[in-house]
Amino acid sequence: MAENKTKPTAASIDGYLASRASDQQLVDCKKLMSLLKKVTKQSPKMWGPSIVGYGVYQYTYESGRSGEAPLAGFAIRGKELVLYLNCEGDKQEALLAKVGKHKMSKSCFYFKQLADLDLAVLEKTVINSIAETRRRYGRRGES
């Protein structure tokens, strides 16, 4: 079975942000980092070359594939930022309807700037995402 390519690294978060972020994105990334550290109570680590991740959980899918992933994280994707979140279920959908201007794919919450979002609603969305991930996969791998 293929090994997960996205793993924690010793790469510099500041270096990553400096190489990818516009001035506004840098301000927003710093605010996101503060929010994610507050919610996860974890320090950030680079996961692969482009994800700033907080905490870790171990998963095993029905297919048998297993690995580790950050409990919460974000990345810079061109002109957008992306938060990696579990947003399934009625509770999360209700929050997404109130959070502000964004696009959502399966687990990727895309937005252009934090000013377009209600930060209190975003924080609740992140908290719910972490709670659902822990419910689904337990706390294995968390430090």
Q: Specify the amino acid at residue 36.
A: L
pLDDT tens profile 80-127:
999 999 998 899 999 999 999 999 998 999 999 999 999 999 999 999
How much is the pLDDT for 31? 98
Better-predicted residue by pLDDT, 92 or 61? 92
How much is the pLDDT for 63? 86
How much is the pLDDT for 65? 82
**Residue bearing tokens 């399934």:** 88
Q: What strand order describes the sheet that includes 108-111? A: 8-9, 44-47, 51-54, 72-77, 80-84, 108-111, 103-104
Cβ atoms of 83 and 126 closer than 8 Å: yes
d(CA 90, CA 125): 12
- Paired with 9 in beta bridges are 46
Better-predicted residue by pLDDT, 132 or 3? 132
Residue 2: is its pLDDT beyond 90? no
What is the full DSSP assignment across 8-50?
EE---HHHHHHHH--HHHHHHHHHHHHHHHHHH---EEEETTT
How much is the pLDDT for 141? 57
Q: Cα-flanking dihedrals φ and ψ of residue 42, to 5°?
A: -125, 155
Which residue ranges form the domains of the chain, and what is each CATH number?
A: 8-137 (3.90.1150.200)
pTM of the model: 0.91
How many angstroms from the chain centroid is the CA of residue 1?
25
